[in-house]
Amino acid sequence: MLASITLLVPPASPSPFLSFSRFSPSISASVSDLVRVTSRRLAWASKTESIATMATEEDECMGSVKAQLAKLFEVSLKVTVPNEPDVEPLIAACTGKFGDYQCNNAMGLWSKIKGKGTQFRGPPAVGEAIKNNLPTSEMIESCSVAGPGFVNVVLSKSWMAKSIQKMLSEGIDTWAPMPPVKKAVVDFSSPNIAKEMHVGHLRSTIIGDTLARMLEFSKVEVLRRNHVGDWGTQFGMLIEFLFEKFPNFEDATETAIGDLQAFYKSSKQRFDADPAFKERAQQAVVRLQGGEDKYRRAWAQICEISRTEFHKVYKRLGVHLEEKGESFYNPYIPGVIEALTNQGLVEESQGARVIFIEGSNIPLIVVKSDGGFNYASTDMAALWYRLNEEKAEWIIYVTDVGQQQHFDMVFKAAKRAGWLPHSDSSYLKASHVGFGLVLGEDGKRFRTRNTEVVRLVDLLDEAKSRSKAALIERGKGEEWTEDEIESTAEAVGYGAVKYADLKNNRLTNYTFNFDQMLNDKGNTAVYLLYAHARICSIIRRSGKDVEELKNKGTLVLGHKDERDLGLHLLQFPEVVEEACTNLLPNVLCDYLYNLSEIFSKFYSNPECKVVGSDMETSRLLLCEATAVVMRKCFNLLGITPIYKI
């Protein structure tokens, strides 16, 4: 798996961490410009449906059944209730036996129109009218009205088959959602310099990567930001300790320093125990922030050694990030706070400078009582930069739930400043993606036996090792090459760790258990990867060229199990929409597991025999469509598929 980290550093200046004007023109003018841009975007956004209702052009919504039905029902609603403008169709997939999809507008419309001299006598009559006013479409086989006006839609089997075959010919990207947002920032992973990445970073890294992948699939330009902790008072003690241990500090390498976590602990112990060292460390912070060359070079050396360690994890996980750490935004802080002060938002409180937030019993401190900056200062500057300089329309922060209040206050401060609209229903907007803890089997934070946090690189290596051992036990050591065993062990091991996390609602805690996540039965990555490999095996066993079948064969959904599988495949685009809208990767995991179960039911039915049957070509195409959608699900989850077991 490939991975890379791009380092984006602030422009150089003689005193780069004290000068603001060198990095930006008048920030006050930029903020007002941003507000004008915001108002224009909001005017556009007010005419745009949410990410879940997607695009307006016919060719843009071809992938989503829900979007295509919404267009048809929009026409019907305008005819049915011409005096009720801007009624958005409420379309949902059915869970019952009456149809595939349902339009649920009748009850809401009845509450609006009753008493206005309407011809209708209740929701069922409204539903009947909506059904009768639907334009003719090849996608609909039949419609019926149930209960209080629910319009049930049964899709045409021939249209379903044609849609799936079209995807096979033109590619899965034709099923990509089209959200009304062009550029997004996803801020995730964000470890601290001079500290090892541990299991606590796992969730942010893989949840953030999956959200970025889903948005990228949806044609959104995604800025993957690694907001590393590379600035602050701790660097004084680290630099002084580096000078002490390595007088020629530029010769200090990762090998020479050894365990970075141990280096950090040793410097902290020295800081706490030695007053003279502590004083030198405090002076080092001043010199670093003043831009003194020797201290800047030492700081850069420590950061680079940390990045080397981070890269080992990102390479294993196949995660790409662009680093813009705390130091990058530091030069922007004074100007941002000045602009907020000029707007009357920043006030004095107990010696500190704060922004009061409605509904919060504590203010957002942007300048500490000693005149120093803090996380809130940096996050306000980062948010300003992302909106104003990077022109992002959606900024997504992936951190643990414990930071929810902090980001809520930052977002509310940005709304007070006019950077963000007060409503979160349109873009521009900022979202916090919180997640729970990784627990050990004792129900406490996942740690090693000596109570240390688990190094992420060790955890991933253990997953690969166990996966490899399972392959050897199954006799693959004699059948496969060493490269095949290594690549499969990586795909299964790393995929198991990722899926075990992603399949849970991110807000909940989950228990880390290797035996469960590497089980080849149940809702695990191992089961799903093996299911995909089996489908590939079925196609290989047929001896047919599947690419040729795509061009010359015809897909038919004659049997109920074939139709059920086809319907689930067609719902893939709207599942991605839902997962993006709610920032919930587990929605995609649920879909993937259900897809494998529905396929298993189809394939195990004797009436749906694939290889050697009269319907072999059609059913091979259905197998291939299932494999294509599974592979895209794996891709969005950051999991590498396997093709044989």
For 104-108, 120-124, 245-249, 507-511, which range has the lowest pLDDT when averaged over its residues?
245-249
Which sequence spans correspond to the domains of the chain?
Answer: 29-175, 183-229+326-435, 234-323, 456-637
Give the least confident one: 34-38, 312-316, 404-408. Answer: 34-38
CATH 3.40.50.620 fits 183-229+326-435, yes or no: yes
For the cut 60, the answer to whether the pLDDT of residue 7 exceeds it is no
Report the CATH fold assignment for 456-637: Isoleucyl-tRNA Synthetase; Domain 1 (1.10.730)
CB atoms within 10 A of CB 207: 27
490 pLDDT tier (thresholds 50, 70, 90): very high
Task: Give the orientation angle of helix 260-273 with respect to helix 293-317, to 10 degrees.
Answer: 140
The pLDDT tens digits for 598-617 are 999 999 999 999 999 999 99
The 10s digit of each residue's pLDDT in 503-525 is 999 999 999 999 999 999 999 99
Which one-letter DSSP state was computed for residue 16? T
H or E segment to which residue 457 belongs: helix 456-473
Q: Average of pLDDT values for 619-641?
A: 98
pLDDT of amino acid 54:
35
- Average pLDDT estimate for 522-546: 96
Least trusted range by pLDDT, from 193-202, 287-296, 300-309: 193-202
Range of weakest confidence among 18-32, 141-155, 479-493: 18-32
pLDDT tens figures, 46-86: 333 333 333 333 344 456 899 999 999 999 999 999 888 88
Assess whether pLDDT exceeds 60 at residue 43.
Answer: no
Greatest CA separation found in the chain?
A: 90
The per-residue pLDDT for 372 is 82
Task: Note the pLDDT of residue 29.
Answer: 40
17 pLDDT tier (thresholds 50, 70, 90): very low
Question: Which residues face 346 on adjacent strands?
Answer: 355
| Whether residue 197 has pLDDT greater than 90 | no
Rounded CA separation 603/448 (Å): 44
pLDDT attached to residue 58 = 39
Residue 112's pLDDT is 86
Tokens representing 486 are 């290594």
The pLDDT assigned to 200 comes to 79
Mean pLDDT score of the chain? 87
pLDDT at 13: 34
For CA atoms 358, 363, 365, 371, the dihedral sign is positive
pLDDT tens-digit series, residues 334-365: 999 999 999 999 999 999 999 999 989 999 99
Nearest by Cα to 388 from 24, 114, 52, 633:
24
- Pick one of 3.30.479.10, 1.10.1740.110, 3.30.450.20, 3.30.1360.70 as the CATH number of 29-175: 3.30.1360.70
- pLDDT at residue 411, as a whole number: 97
Residue-level pLDDT at 41: 34
Query: Quick check: 44 pLDDT over 70?
Result: no
- What does each C-alpha distance from 122 to 84, 102, 108, 349, 600 come to in angstroms? 16, 18, 11, 59, 44
Amino acid letter for position 302: I
Q: What is the mean pLDDT of residues 311-332?
A: 94
CA angle centred on 246, ends 241 and 251, rounded to 5°: 130
Q: Which of 615, 226, 177, 183 is nearest to 397 (CA)?
A: 226
| Residue of 535, 500, 505 whose CA lies nearest to 639 | 500
What is the separation of C-alpha 454 from the centre of its chain, rounded to a whole number of angstroms?
A: 24
Phi, psi for residue 319 in degrees, rounded to 5: -110, 130
pLDDT of residue 62: 59
pLDDT-derived band at 442, boundaries 50, 70, 90: confident
For 548-595, what is each residue's pLDDT tens digit? 999 999 999 999 999 999 999 999 999 999 999 999 999 999 999 999
Does residue 430 sit in helix, strand or coil? strand
User: At 38, is the pLDDT very low, low, confident or very high (cuts 50, 70, 90)?
Assistant: very low
What is the enclosing helix (H) or strand (E) of 94? none
Q: How confident is the model at residue 443 (pLDDT cuts 50, 70, 90)?
A: confident
Q: Decide if pLDDT at 115 tops 90.
A: no
From the list 99, 155, 162, the residue with the least C-alpha distance to 556 is 162
Give the pLDDT score at 257.
65
> Which among 306, 287, 308 is positioned nearest to 296, based on CA atoms?
287
CB atoms within 10 A of CB 468: 19
Residue 40 has what pLDDT? 31
Q: How far apart, in Å, do the first and last CA atoms of the chain sit?
A: 20
What pLDDT is stored for residue 45 in this prediction?
Answer: 31
CA distance 215 to 51: 11
